[in-house]
Amino acid sequence: MIEKIKKVWKDPVWSAVIVFIITSIFSIRLCIILLILCVIFHFFFKKRNSRCGRISYIQDKALFKQIITKDLPESFIYDYLKNHDFGEPVSVDDLKALMDFEWIVDNPQYKFNNPRLEQIKSDLLSSIKSFKDYLLRNTTENEFGRLIISDFIRRDEEKFISYKKELHKWADDICKNYDELIRIMRASA
111 secondary structure, DSSP code: -
Report yes or no on 50 lying in a domain: no
Would you say 80 and 110 are in contact if contact means Cβ atoms under 8 Å apart? no
CA distances from 15 to 27, 40, 123 (A): 17, 25, 55
Q: Is pLDDT of 28 > 70?
A: no
CA distance 188 to 104: 24
- On whether both 112 and 143 belong to a single domain, the answer is yes
Average pLDDT (56-83) is 85
Q: So what's the pLDDT on residue 119? A: 92
Q: Is the pLDDT confidence value at 4 over 80?
A: no
pLDDT at 76 over 90: no
pLDDT of res. 3: 75
Contact 117, 64 (CB under 8 A): yes
Is 60 exceeded by the pLDDT of residue 50? no
The mean predicted confidence, pLDDT, of the chain is: 81
DSSP state of 93: G
pLDDT band at 173 (very low <50, low <70, confident <90, very high): very high
Query: How many independent structural domains does the chain possess?
Result: 2
Residues 15 and 81 in one domain: no
As a whole-number percent, the residues of the chain with pLDDT over 90 amount to 10
Is 142 a member of any domain?
yes
Pair 150, 72: CB distance under 8 Å: no
Specify whether 98 is located in the same domain as 179. Answer: yes
Whether residue 24 is predicted with pLDDT greater than 70 in this model: the reply is no
Confirm whether 178 is domain-assigned: yes
Pairwise CA distance, residues 130 & 36, whole Å: 57
> Within 13 Å of residue 54, how many CA atoms lie on the same side as its CB?
6
Residue pair 135/90 in contact by the 8 Å Cβ criterion: yes
How much of the chain is in helix, strand and coil states, percent to nearest 5?
80, 5, 15
User: Is 136 inside any structural domain?
Assistant: yes
Does residue 33 share a domain with residue 98?
no
Regarding whether 111 and 25 lie in a shared domain, the answer is no
Q: Is the pLDDT of residue 30 over 80?
A: no
Q: Which of 76-80, 89-93, 114-118 has the highest mean pLDDT?
A: 114-118
Cα gap 76→39, rounded to integer Å: 51
In contact, 125 and 149? CB cutoff 8 Å: no
* Domain of residue 76, residue span: 55-187
